[in-house]
A and B are shown apart, each in its own frame.
Chain A
Amino acid sequence: MIMRRTPSSSRLPVLLAILVGIVALLGWHEPRFIEINNLINILRQSSMVGLIALGMTLVILTGGIDLSVGSLVAVSALAGAGAARAGVTFPLCWGAALAAGALLGMVNGLGVARLRLPPFIMTLGMMGFARGLAFMVTGGKPLTGFDASFRWLGIGGWMGLPLPIWVFGGFFLVVWVLLELMPWGDQVRSVGSSPRAAWGSGVNVPGVTAQVYVLCGVASALVGLLLAGRIDSAQPTAGVGYEFGAIAGVVFGGTSFSGGRGSLVGTVIGVLIMTVLESGMNMLNVNPFAEQVVKGVVIAAALVLYGRTGQALRG
């Protein structure tokens, strides 16, 4: 039996058609665009924002938002890099980064779940706090010069694909299983759909809420490791503005801001569409400032469109 998410699943084919349509159009205009190497490159570019968008999907499904993801990227990259520089052997220094992301994610989660702070405020505070922390411990200077082993996640490859794509795929698989096959997914959606009802009928609302922010923090930490590995540098400015791309991808993928409805597949397609647009406009030499404008318009258009279809479904 297939589990159909009635309202949102109808959007997936449309989204997929949009993605294929844009790629085909760009390929028709410029055949280099659909060369396999360029497509792999687009996937690789999508993996960073995509990882964060997966975590963000979980948070938004509970009716929350996480603005601190970009700052967590920087802090966890620095935690991993600092550990590596201090001579911690290589799988463990990755652990340091993941632990930092999970810990700060947990603080977000506890603030939202236990102190009942609005997610926007709590994660806005964390955004500033974590960024400040990153600047404080580094004095504004990046950490550079790592072993190839530390950098491997960012620069390595397997079976012809860059590792970031595998990390993205692996993380997708993990959260997809949690969300779609485990009762946990129902609980995440129930919290987003009606936190009061969820709490009253026995869902551990604080626990589930904390867990999604931890997962979002872990996703940010993974991105921190990919980024630090790729550019051989952990910078206090890493990840600035990532929340925008991630939230845009999630919303474009059809996940509702009011919580409870949405899908990870939609998010992945949403992120891919954003990357393809960006990459295509690059290739067509569109003015980079105009690029931002186009992206903004596309997101706004998607929201208006979703609002309409949502109303149609309700009426």
Chain B
Amino acid sequence: MTDVERKDHASSREPLLSVRGLSKRFGGLQALEDVSFDLHPGEILGLLGPNGAGKTTCFNMISGMFSPTAGRIFFDGTDTTGVSPAEMARRGVGRTFQIVRPFPSLSVLENVSVSLGLRRYGSLGCLLGRWGTRSVREEAREILASVGLADLASRRAGLLPLGNLRRLELARALALRPKLLLLDETFSGLRAEEIRQMELHVRGVRDAGVGVLLIEHNMKVAMALSERIVVLDHGRKLAEGTGAEVAADPRVVEAYLGKGASGHA
């Protein structure tokens, strides 16, 4: 897919994800306040900000783990505010976790199969669904091969090193055949070569028309991957634009890049 086509892809359609005035309060802490942004299919949007800026909170609300205190989330044309994680997964939101969350006592293959089963069947559907697991296992193998984990399929997930666990998280999210992929620091803790491979995966997913929302601390990676960037600070949206626009914004430089840019770039 060329750049021009991709731009068409992104701008011609309705937004895949539309976040409007999103706020979340935990007791006395205002974790997120009045944040709005759009994400189009086939677009990578970076969500940046210092620690505690509210990025993961934002993810947790989009994927249904938290209900917002105020604001609305529209996904794929419908209002999905406060919908359960199980329902969001079924509708096509896949996510990874900053702190990896494998099923440690299950095999790598089974870890992926769990997600595949979710896509194919709801909770009752998977009880009554057709004779499924065999073909599910085959599809799981294909997905594992695509992220380079095929050789480790029968290994217990709890025994994998971090790099492979991050790939497993991606595989599990991809197994949902997501329309929207939420990547929470998927690149952190990876070696340079692993980062390069992961970038390729993410671009491949984007080229297939998936919308990707990316939380990333590594500025180089975030700038290279993201078409647009939203910067959060203390729960508020500080800036939005291309990497260059955002990097030139004095407020951003002050809040975040002032330290980060010199350190990472």
A interface residues with partner B (beta carbon < 8 Å): 1, 3-7, 178, 180-187, 189-190, 192-194, 196-205, 207-208, 211, 256, 258-261, 314
Contacts and interface: CB of A to CB of B under 8 A. Distances in A.
B15 interface: no
Contacts of B122: 204
Given A1-B134, A202-B115, A190 B127 contact: no
B156 A183 contact: no
Contact of B176 (A182, A198, A202, A261): A202
A6 B115 CA distance: 20
Nearest to A211: B127
B137 to A, nearest CB: 6
Interface residues of B, number: 47
B105 A256 contact: yes
Contact of A182 (B86, B111, B133): B133
B156 A204 contact: no
B88 interface: yes
A201 B114 contact: yes
B101 interface: yes
B123 A194 contact: no
Given A3-B137, A182-B132, A201-B85, 5 more contacts: A185-B133, A196-B101, A197-B102, A199-B65, A199-B85
Contacts of B138: 1
Given A181-B134, A186-B117, A202-B118, A197 B103 contact: yes
B114 A259 contact: no
Nearest to B133: A181
A180 B151 CA distance: 22
B133 A187 contact: no
Contacts, number: 130
A6 B126 contact: no
16 contacts: A181-B131, A181-B132, A182-B126, A183-B116, A184-B126, A186-B106, A186-B110, A190-B106, A196-B101, A198-B114, A201-B95, A202-B176, A203-B86, A204-B86, A211-B123, A260-B105
A187 B136 CA distance: 13
Contacts of B116: 183
Nearest to B127: A184
Interface string B215-252: 00000000000000000000000000000000000000
B18 interface: no
Contact of A183 (B102, B132, B173): B132
B152 to A, nearest CB: 12
A138 B154 CA distance: 54
A193 B133 contact: no
Contacts of A184: 117, 121, 126-127, 129
Contacts of B156: 6-7
A194 B102 CA distance: 8
Contacts of B118: 183, 187, 201-203
Nearest to B63: A200
Contacts of B104: 193-194, 260
B89 to A, nearest CB: 2
Contacts of B63: 200
Contacts of A186: 106, 110, 113-114, 117, 133, 136
